[in-house]
Structure 1
């Protein structure tokens, strides 16, 4: 069997590259990291024909071969490296037909690298709506490479694309025969000597080595020194060469477009996208609509999820009650019911909300509205030392802080990138959602405000907005302390509005729910079993004293009501005397000023592994502490919990204090690990952990004091 060929998939952001990658590879995908860097490496296998298979490498989107961010530099290095592991046998360039002039700049640069190239033109339908007609045969002739019209979302043009890939693999087509511009003439002596010094594919590759020799990973220190000496000898001016190159490319592109592209008068065009943007990006109405969208998002999380959540909650309660009746009364049954089932039940109930949250976020991304949010908030971001690009990681942080922090790589300015990484965990991620939900249900009345707004949904929205505004406030403070000075630019292409791909929305909802259950489930199962053991056993002296005390009390009465009351007190005191109780009482003085009891203190410790573990911890503690196995839900058990003096544990003050603590606290080991990896230092995750914990404690204390 022939070895699969390597195809690099490149293109401008929002050109349809990811859609084509998914269409070609289907489920045969994997995500890893490029060697030596933390940038995602998406690869997949595609069956081109019966005889040909290809490894597709989806390179990060970039506008030109002059990289400005870590992601763009990865694309640059892969394309320039003549002997790299990911060296492509051919390059598949995705170009947006509705923005052809800008896309052709990048295409022309790839062509001059002298690798076999195919151009896939997407957005042909949008170009047609704009009044743009493209002569594909003429464009192919002028560029000297195959040009294929494709629509990956509808699988159109893929057979023709695969046929061209097969022809190149069979060497019917080779590398482009002619240069797009005269690259050699831009710096003749430098290009000639570099071609003698290094095994480069083209004159244009030599120019790029001259411009970025000190950052290219395939050049060792000796070769970098040789290139530096060569450039100094020839008085090479990279700024001048780059400027001349771009001017020549655009002059040639203008000439090509004049002969192959027919455009109607742009002044006569007003697309639907532009008309919608006039409203959604309006100085006043744009922000009003944004708040309305967020309001509907969080109202929907409660409104749509309430029925399936109630069913799941009641189902696990009934399952626990049924299992306690049918299974033998021994330790194995106890650990299964009060450890595993209680812990998993505490997390499964939130699956509907997780699915709805991710589904609605996917709809916002698919329609193109998410990019508008960045544009709208750029002015606010600049006032606190960031720019509009910081908003995308912050919005992604609503789902999960780990990929959100990785998304900050697209921010070119180092200071803005660092501040974005430091504040992103303040955004309320999906792991906080179970805590918010159960606490809101306990302390916020389920009633309507103004006749149509759910008070609980409104509380949820306020918590999410609170995270955003605290992130902005902390950014403004960090702006004063981070001493990195770089100019900052915010250039962003707004994608066209499209109908959401409902299949994609559904797939995302299912996949995110699976990840939530499997990732959280593994941690919760381990912690639930450990907690069951700690809550069921304790020092023999203390536990024996409790048993002796209540055996004597039970022997003194035959009244069933009194016996039930004694049994309840026994289970409560037994839990208090256990290892978990001892640990909880030890940390209680620290958390008591926040309105928390020792059980909440234990949950704060266990949820350092992952925030959602809080709910599983409470489920286990309240199950082990029960006198009898019942089918009561966790919410009902927590609502009936009382302190030693008989007052309820979960008052409004305690509930609000707990939500504020989790809104600001850094209780996610995975996030700290990714911050260390992205910043290449333990300094920043330590600072992040300290400031977020202090912020959470102080704010929680203030809220409790106000409302108690």
Structure 2
């Protein structure tokens, strides 16, 4: 069977999906649209039933792309994802609002089961729900009580889903024949009349099926007391900033030793390849190109894992919704609103899903401004660049209790946020609209995150990061190695022949380093790098950095893989010098001073903080705006901003 999961945001639909599928999941997009499509195989059944997690929506009236996707699937039996059965996840602690969507799905005429979730929270609130009576009043629909976060009732839900008894579609909620066209009504007055009619019937039903028990200390009061602190107009911002500071300190403190371990492991792998396999081009390609390139991705798994883990905890506990709430008033002068916070914070993970998340912003002007500035938020692809450069040029010292490296990392993220707000303010005056906007949102109750969901989420995110970035870096590492190992004609041979033979004053090791440096400088990649060097020299960069800037336009994290490949060509791995040590020893050919100083390192960090170094992001902006001018404007303004900001940084600090 094909089984669809439908539900409101914050109803626990994702937890149900994870419980039903475990790690048997795959992620993509629905055909033709940039809407997430998550599907998986039901893990608690011998028959391979497919579970499709449809986007979380509040209504089937298709006003947003998410709602349109759900309506198109449920309203068309010929659709490739049309389900045999539907499981609607309903929040038992907020039954009235959730029943609006449930009854709309009921009116689509598809066999449906209600997964009554969060019954534990309903119990704490003193809500007693008569599920048998509710089932009767909804036309005999099957209702299963569950707590998706802990797995309570999931087995019963699976038994109900895969049972052999016929799941006939219930009677339409509003009476009469099933009328799927009712949700395509564009007349706002008629739409309002039908919602109001639906709510009146829902309210009548709830009077019969929901009773309120007296509770000694309401959970709502406790949560409101916490909210008075976390959403305070002053303390709320300070707490949020403090949480960010702790996160970035932890990312550096906890990830350091596993990163060192991974770095040593890949260095040993390159050394083993060099010493074990026969000499030749293939051995050099593996040792100097592929292994260092892949190591440049894998080494950042600890930090990526920590970053996504903290984001997951903020979302699961309900705190992220409070952040949206408190930042709404702060965002509005910049042409944004509170809903812009979700894409902006999501941009810390990846700009692509973050830009897709702007679909929840109804106001076109605010949505477009959010799209245009979201790539300025430092995404996880920038984290490897920041980490490498901070380790290279920032002293390992403390300012009070805080590590200076962690403070610099936090500063880079805050710089991206400040730049996004200032650029949004500029766009606010260029993009004109008469449409007014407002923020209506639900603050979910606080809850403990489920750690099994954390494991699934982290596995999913890390797997996507490693394999998506790995494929690109693998390809570029091979190309870079070829370009760095060969040159036109006999140019490399002539340049090497001009090097004086080693003497008593010049060791064999130094001579081999000179040969490697001259060979690289006269290779195809060296010639290209020297051609662009005059443009980037005012920023404090050499030609090797220039090559990495070009290759990392495919994806920002390619910078690290490119540097690993460039500094591995001709390297004698017996010295066991890490990439950082090789980069620290790099000297400027004109001045003889180190290339990577605090000035050049910070300049490079600032460049990557602002530059549009991601083709995939530009492609998503084009798909979301359906206009070439917006990604082109984005590319031009971000590249220009990056160059000017990096130039100022280097010239002030050099």
Do residues 17 (structure 1) and 10 (structure 2) align? no
Do residues 454 (structure 1) and 403 (structure 2) align? yes
| Pair 1:335–1:162, CA change in 2 (3 A) | closer
- 1:539-554 aligned at under 5 Å gives the runs 539-550=488-499, 553-554=500-501
TM-score (normalised: structure 2): 0.93
Point out where structure 2 has 5 or more consecutive residues left out of the alignment. none
Partner residue, 1:518: 467
Q: Shift in Å at residue 82 of structure 1?
A: 5.3
**Structure 2 residue corresponding to 1:368, chosen from 309, 318, 343:** 318
Do residues 86 (structure 1) and 35 (structure 2) align? no
Given that residues 48 and 166 in structure 1 are in contact (C-alpha distance below 8 angstroms), is that contact kept between their aligned partners in structure 2?
no
> For the residues of structure 2 that align with 1:635 and 1:356, how far apart are their CA atoms?
22
> For the residues of structure 2 that align with 1:55 and 1:543, how far apart are their CA atoms?
58
| Pair 1:327–1:74, CA change in 2 (3 A) | closer
**Structure 1 residue corresponding to 2:371, chosen from 407, 421, 440:** 421
| Pair 1:618–1:86, CA change in 2 (3 A) | closer
Partner residue, 1:587: 532
Do residues 180 (structure 1) and 199 (structure 2) align? no
- Which range moves more in the overlay, 695-704 or 679-688? 679-688
**Structure 2 residue corresponding to 1:498, chosen from 423, 443, 447:** 447
Given that residues 60 and 71 in structure 2 are in contact (C-alpha distance below 8 angstroms), is that contact kept between their aligned partners in structure 1?
yes
2:554 is paired with a residue whose SS is: coil
Q: Shift in Å at residue 17 of structure 1?
A: 1.6
Partner residue, 2:585: 640
Given that residues 69 and 409 in structure 1 are in contact (C-alpha distance below 8 angstroms), is that contact kept between their aligned partners in structure 2?
yes
Partner residue, 1:603: 548
Partner residue, 1:464: 413
Partner residue, 1:154: 150
> For the residues of structure 2 that align with 1:161 and 1:319, how far apart are their CA atoms?
49
Q: Shift in Å at residue 563 of structure 1?
A: 5.1
| Pair 1:531–1:263, CA change in 2 (3 A) | same
Do residues 621 (structure 1) and 576 (structure 2) align? no
Superimposed CA distance per residue, residues 554-611 of structure 1 (whole angstroms, 9 cap, x where no aligned partner): 1xx6426355544433332222222111111100011011111111111111111111
| Pair 1:166–1:610, CA change in 2 (3 A) | closer
| Pair 1:268–1:629, CA change in 2 (3 A) | closer
Partner residue, 1:219: none
- 1:96-135 aligned at under 5 Å gives the runs 96-135=91-130
**Structure 1 residue corresponding to 2:633, chosen from 687, 696, 705:** 687
Partner residue, 1:377: 327
1:9 is paired with a residue whose SS is: strand
Partner residue, 2:516: 571
Q: Shift in Å at residue 351 of structure 1?
A: 2.0
**Structure 2 residue corresponding to 1:280, chosen from 206, 227, 230:** 230
> For the residues of structure 2 that align with 1:166 and 1:308, how far apart are their CA atoms?
44
Partner residue, 1:261: 210
Do residues 434 (structure 1) and 384 (structure 2) align? yes
Q: Shift in Å at residue 460 of structure 1?
A: 0.3
Given that residues 496 and 518 in structure 2 are in contact (C-alpha distance below 8 angstroms), is that contact kept between their aligned partners in structure 1?
no
1:153 is paired with a residue whose SS is: coil
| Pair 1:336–1:112, CA change in 2 (3 A) | closer
Q: Shift in Å at residue 114 of structure 1?
A: 3.9
1:305 is paired with a residue whose SS is: helix
Partner residue, 2:182: 207
Larger radius of gyration: 1
> For the residues of structure 2 that align with 1:296 and 1:502, how far apart are their CA atoms?
20
Partner residue, 1:228: none
Superimposed CA distance per residue, residues 245-289 of structure 1 (whole angstroms, 9 cap, x where no aligned partner): 333333222222222211257997353332222221111111111
> For the residues of structure 2 that align with 1:671 and 1:148, how far apart are their CA atoms?
42
Given that residues 123 and 151 in structure 1 are in contact (C-alpha distance below 8 angstroms), is that contact kept between their aligned partners in structure 2?
yes
- 1:343-362 aligned at under 5 Å gives the runs 343-362=293-312
> For the residues of structure 2 that align with 1:317 and 1:511, how far apart are their CA atoms?
27
| Pair 1:120–1:559, CA change in 2 (3 A) | same
| Pair 1:412–1:267, CA change in 2 (3 A) | farther
Q: Shift in Å at residue 545 of structure 1?
A: 2.5
> For the residues of structure 2 that align with 1:558 and 1:242, how far apart are their CA atoms?
89
> For the residues of structure 1 that align with 2:61 and 2:198, how far apart are their CA atoms?
14
Partner residue, 1:222: none
**Structure 2 residue corresponding to 1:59, chosen from 42, 54, 78:** 54
> For the residues of structure 1 that align with 2:189 and 2:468, how far apart are their CA atoms?
53
2:568 is paired with a residue whose SS is: helix
> For the residues of structure 2 that align with 1:353 and 1:516, how far apart are their CA atoms?
12
Q: Shift in Å at residue 20 of structure 1?
A: 1.8
> For the residues of structure 2 that align with 1:44 and 1:69, how far apart are their CA atoms?
25
Q: Shift in Å at residue 430 of structure 1?
A: 1.2
Given that residues 346 and 616 in structure 1 are in contact (C-alpha distance below 8 angstroms), is that contact kept between their aligned partners in structure 2?
yes
Q: Shift in Å at residue 625 of structure 1?
A: 5.3
| Pair 1:412–1:360, CA change in 2 (3 A) | same
2:386 is paired with a residue whose SS is: helix
- Which range moves more in the overlay, 77-86 or 386-395? 77-86
TM-score (normalised: structure 1): 0.86
Do residues 404 (structure 1) and 358 (structure 2) align? no
Given that residues 324 and 629 in structure 1 are in contact (C-alpha distance below 8 angstroms), is that contact kept between their aligned partners in structure 2?
no
> For the residues of structure 2 that align with 1:380 and 1:157, how far apart are their CA atoms?
42
> For the residues of structure 1 that align with 2:246 and 2:231, how far apart are their CA atoms?
19
> For the residues of structure 1 that align with 2:395 and 2:229, how far apart are their CA atoms?
36
> For the residues of structure 2 that align with 1:435 and 1:47, how far apart are their CA atoms?
39
Q: Shift in Å at residue 689 of structure 1?
A: 1.1
| Pair 1:143–1:595, CA change in 2 (3 A) | same
Q: How many residues align?
A: 651
> For the residues of structure 2 that align with 1:519 and 1:76, how far apart are their CA atoms?
31
> For the residues of structure 2 that align with 1:249 and 1:508, how far apart are their CA atoms?
36
> For the residues of structure 1 that align with 2:539 and 2:231, how far apart are their CA atoms?
42
- Which range moves more in the overlay, 471-480 or 37-46? 37-46
2:55 is paired with a residue whose SS is: coil
Partner residue, 1:136: 131
| Pair 1:539–1:699, CA change in 2 (3 A) | same
Partner residue, 1:536: 485
> For the residues of structure 2 that align with 1:77 and 1:329, how far apart are their CA atoms?
60
1:14 is paired with a residue whose SS is: coil
Given that residues 542 and 595 in structure 2 are in contact (C-alpha distance below 8 angstroms), is that contact kept between their aligned partners in structure 1?
yes
1:513 is paired with a residue whose SS is: helix
**Structure 2 residue corresponding to 1:299, chosen from 225, 237, 249:** 249
Given that residues 62 and 183 in structure 2 are in contact (C-alpha distance below 8 angstroms), is that contact kept between their aligned partners in structure 1?
no
Q: Shift in Å at residue 520 of structure 1?
A: 2.2
Partner residue, 1:43: 39
Given that residues 6 and 54 in structure 2 are in contact (C-alpha distance below 8 angstroms), is that contact kept between their aligned partners in structure 1?
yes
